[in-house]
Structure 1
Amino acid sequence: MTAVQLPQGPLPEGRFPRRVPARQLRQILCLVPLLLVTVVAVQHRSVLAEGFGHLRSAEWPWLLAAIGATCLTWVAAAFTRQGAVVERLPKRRLLATQFAAGAANHLLPTGLGASAVNLRFMTVCGVPLARSSAALALYLLAESVARLGLLTALLLAFPDALSFGELLPEHAMGPLLLGVVAVLVVAAGVLAFVRRLRTAVVSFLRTALGELRSVHTRPCRAFALWGGSFAFPLLQAAGLVLVGQALGLPVSPVHMAVAYLAATVAVALVPTPGGLGSVEAALVVALVAAGGPAAVATAVVLAYRIITVWLPLVPGAVTLGALVRLKVI
């Protein structure tokens, strides 16, 4: 059998794709957020048109106050992120990262975009990956506890704030509870029978508890963590209240705040990008349950989402691309 002679020397140029340099790859990644924003905006163009239409008939002083409250939510998020980790993070970059994370959060399933951006930011700042993940979990825990705590306190103080029969019909409670129990049982079963996963979860919990103890030994970190966690949902609720005032929604501010907290808690597990669609529907239902007319409640929710989601989306995507290019994340 005759031996096959393979060609010697370098292969002809263009035969195989060359490796993309890291600098060019970062330039490409800078454009990805803007591309995603364009796709999402085209998909929701009818909602955008209707929302901007409602803004034209609103009282602008209230809308400016709502924009101010929205800007303060990024400051509150930065405080909470800093409070979740012992190391001092660069303040300006931390704030810019929260603004960019907001855009990422609306382009990926709820929570994943912001979590990925902040995880990368902390690791670039020198925090080990295991502790960065623990700090991320601590942030999510504190924010969830604060949101649920505020909702519980307001419902106890104002038990007639929502008409739960309209918000969640009685016949829907059974399937909902059954679904929650089923998820918990499946999760417990997986942890019980998959040894490697159980070991990883136990190791992560140990790291997270260590980070929790370290943070709470420093009063300034604990104050930033919990102060930011409570301020964040309060500022979000204040934004909805201010938009409601701008459009003349006949619902008391406290009841609107309760409606906002109840709606966001209800959609927390819905895996849609930034809650797009699910948040709007839940907010409309909650405002109607609080006593608002359906038409005005819909207008308020659309205008509110324009201010809190769509207006910051393009500058947030630009900031995200800039942070990638500058190797901040």
Structure 2
Amino acid sequence: MAYAAVAAGVRTPRLLATTEVGTDAAVLAYEHVGGTPLSEIPDEEISDDLQRRIWTEVQRLQAPRLAHRRLVAESILVEGYGGARGAHRPGVPAVSEGLRPGAPEGAGAVNAVNGDGSALSVSGPVASARDAGDAGDAEGPPDGSRVCLVDLRAGEIAAGDLLLLIDIAQLLTELALRVGPERAVRAAADVLGPDTLAAAVPLLQSIALARTTRAGLRKNKDLLSRIREQILALRPATERTPEQPVRLERFRPRTLISIIAGAFGAYVLLSQLSHVNLGSTLAAANWWWTAIALVAAVVSYVAAAFMLRGFVPERLPLGRTVMAQLAGSFVKLVAPAAVGLVAINTRFLMRAGVPSGLAVTSVGASQLTGLAFHILLLFGFGYITGTASRESSLPTRPLIAGLLIAAVLVLVVVVVPPLRRFVAKRLTSMFSGVVPRLLDVLQSPAKIAEGFGGTLLLTVAFVICLDACVRAFGGDPDFAAVAVVFLTGNALGSAAPTPGGLGAVEFALVGGLQLAGVSPGVATSAVLLYRLLTFWLPVLPGWACFTWLQRREAI
């Protein structure tokens, strides 16, 4: 980078010599440049002429597409300020002072480079002829002062337009913090021209700037907008071409969470499947019934989308709503079954333009309706199961088991104070304001049909999927009994604190199917296939939908 900058005519310390230090380090010797960092020059002494000289050096640097990538005040030296170039003055060591650690590259003579590419800088007594000059005691930068760019370690050759424009935005903001946006923009325009500055407008974002510059912006929160205004004022409105927005991102926490969730999900999936011979299990299944189960599993996501849309008076695109439900299947890997989807749907509605309060109540309304349908269907299918064959008590066992499990869950919630407070707080936050939202929905027959129909279709699709999985392995259960087993197992899975109800759902479904008269081997294989179709297989498309919606800020 130093060779390229010198070849471009940029005033920067030349690389004089290199030598190895052991097997994993090297020393780079640069010529010494006597000068004062721009950060040590008072704001009132930074003239327009000095700014133009700085921009001239940057223009020379960018002509062959070289990016500095750290144009802060400490990386700009002004030669001749406050005394002779290279003469001793407070804060700058003379040759006799020896080595001084911590100096930026170029301000001193020697830079040690470790084997991993990191640099350890020290200042040394290697001086060049340019440091010799007439002594003087000027208080400010004289008209003939020269500018030198140092600290090129992070620079890049063959840089793209983005890096070059970031350099311009960085230096422009750095100077505007010192002299104000009006003078900074005027001096930059004198050298670079209005068009180049206009191209850098989309990069005037705090995320694109150096840490020290961002710290200065905290005291001048409107500085970036004022710089943009000054740049736009350079050209009449009729001559302006709209600049394309640039989205810059750092490695955000939610990206890290997404990666951790994916790794955790893969670990759980492998640990679950390592104890099962999937090949032999799937080979024994009837593929026609397996296909029916797969179709029912796919329909469940469309039904969930209809269910959500039905309780939102605002218009939602069906495709994105279905993708949000698939994204929820990925989130269930790291969150309890009833929590992850609620969070995804609430976020999705807020991103779709629904106010946060209404988004929460809309999801709460859909959850409340789903709970009501769940209870009604449980008792309805239980009644059908009990009356279908009065001579045998076997079909009523799933209903009895379901009622017992529900009673135990209610008893545990009532008896344990922390759990009781948690459930009460969650229900209060979820269902507060739900009734007014339901009244809004009830005014539209189409929304009623969509919401209630989607809720019913969602449950029926899951029941058909489980029933088809049992029949795929030779079972012949009563459909109403399978429905009772599913409704009971789903309730238990929603209450379980494990991701996606892992363990609790499998235990409840296998036990319920056995009570319904299904053999243990068939029940275990059927539940494995059911969970594969409804929980594990949707993980990959769910991750893809989650990532796609995130990139488009839809969740």
Fold match by TM threshold 0.5: yes
Q: 2:426 matched to 1:182?
A: no
Q: 2:324 matched to 1:90?
A: no
Structure 1 CA distance for aligned equivalents of residues 493 and 355 of structure 2: 32
Shift of residue 186, structure 1, vs aligned partner:
7.2
Q: What fraction of aligned residue pairs are identical, expressed as a percent?
A: 28
Q: 2:349 matched to 1:104?
A: no
SS at match of 2:517: coil
Q: 2:371 matched to 1:158?
A: no
Shift of residue 184, structure 1, vs aligned partner:
8.0
Structure 2 CA distance for aligned equivalents of residues 297 and 190 of structure 1: 32
1:45 corresponds to: 273
Distance 1:28 1:283, change over 3 A: same
Aligned residues of 1:121 and 1:328 also touching (Cα < 8 A):
yes
Distance 1:273 1:65, change over 3 A: same
SS at match of 1:163: helix
Aligned residues of 1:50 and 1:302 also touching (Cα < 8 A):
no
1:125 corresponds to: 352
Shift of residue 238, structure 1, vs aligned partner:
0.3
Distance 1:190 1:103, change over 3 A: closer
SS at match of 1:276: coil
Structure 2 CA distance for aligned equivalents of residues 275 and 190 of structure 1: 17
Aligned residues of 1:29 and 1:324 also touching (Cα < 8 A):
no
SS at match of 1:44: helix
1:194 corresponds to: none
Structure 1 CA distance for aligned equivalents of residues 301 and 481 of structure 2: 24
2:454 is aligned, of 228, 240, 244, to 228
Structure 1 CA distance for aligned equivalents of residues 265 and 479 of structure 2: 32
Q: 2:539 matched to 1:313?
A: yes
Distance 1:276 1:220, change over 3 A: same
TM-score of the pair, normalised by structure 2: 0.51
Aligned residues of 2:337 and 2:501 also touching (Cα < 8 A):
yes
2:433 is aligned, of 207, 219, 236, to 207
Structure 1 CA distance for aligned equivalents of residues 293 and 281 of structure 2: 15
Which deviates more from structure 2 when the two are superposed, residues 315-324 or residues 257-266?
257-266
Structure 2 CA distance for aligned equivalents of residues 76 and 53 of structure 1: 32
2:443 corresponds to: 217
Gaps of 5+ in 1: 1-6, 192-196
Q: 2:357 matched to 1:116?
A: no
SS at match of 1:225: helix
Aligned residues of 1:34 and 1:318 also touching (Cα < 8 A):
no
Distance 1:129 1:186, change over 3 A: same
Structure 2 CA distance for aligned equivalents of residues 93 and 127 of structure 1: 15
Which deviates more from structure 2 when the two are superposed, residues 172-181 or residues 249-258?
172-181
Residues 255-303 of structure 1, C-alpha deviations (whole Å, 9 max, x = no match): 2222222222233311111111110010000001101111211111111
Shift of residue 201, structure 1, vs aligned partner:
4.7
1:242 is aligned, of 468, 473, 476, to 468
Residues 161-208 of structure 1, C-alpha deviations (whole Å, 9 max, x = no match): 2425994798x89865542432589747998xxxxx89x959x75532
Aligned residues of 2:338 and 2:494 also touching (Cα < 8 A):
no
Aligned residues of 1:67 and 1:239 also touching (Cα < 8 A):
yes
Which deviates more from structure 2 when the two are superposed, residues 161-170 or residues 142-151?
161-170
Structure 1 CA distance for aligned equivalents of residues 360 and 302 of structure 2: 21
Within 5 Å, which residues of 2 pair with 1:134-173?
134-159=361-386, 160=393, 161-163=395-397, 167=401
1:284 corresponds to: 510
Residues 92-151 of structure 1, C-alpha deviations (whole Å, 9 max, x = no match): 111111111122123311222111111111001111111111111111111111122111
Instruction: Report which structure shows greater RCO (CA 8 Å, sep ≥6).
Output: 1
Distance 1:175 1:240, change over 3 A: closer
1:4 corresponds to: none
Task: Please tell me the residue identity of whatever aligns with 2:490.
Answer: T
Shift of residue 35, structure 1, vs aligned partner:
2.6
Gaps of 5+ in 2: 1-38, 41-72, 76-103, 105-150, 155-209, 215-247, 387-392
Higher strand share: 2
Within 5 Å, which residues of 2 pair with 1:246-285?
246-285=472-511
Distance 1:219 1:174, change over 3 A: closer
Distance 1:223 1:17, change over 3 A: farther
Residues 217-255 of structure 1, C-alpha deviations (whole Å, 9 max, x = no match): 111111111111111111001001111111012422332
RMSD of the TM alignment (CA)?
3.6
Task: Please tell me the residue identity of whatever aligns with 1:131.
Answer: L
2:529 corresponds to: 303
Structure 2 CA distance for aligned equivalents of residues 250 and 111 of structure 1: 31
Shift of residue 156, structure 1, vs aligned partner:
1.1
Higher helix share: 1
Structure 1 CA distance for aligned equivalents of residues 288 and 423 of structure 2: 53
SS at match of 2:537: helix
Aligned residues of 2:297 and 2:461 also touching (Cα < 8 A):
yes
Structure 2 CA distance for aligned equivalents of residues 316 and 174 of structure 1: 34
Whichever of the two has the greater Rg, that structure is 2
Distance 1:29 1:75, change over 3 A: same
Equivalences, count = 314
2:308 corresponds to: 81
Which deviates more from structure 2 when the two are superposed, residues 178-187 or residues 77-86?
178-187
Which deviates more from structure 2 when the two are superposed, residues 266-275 or residues 23-32?
23-32
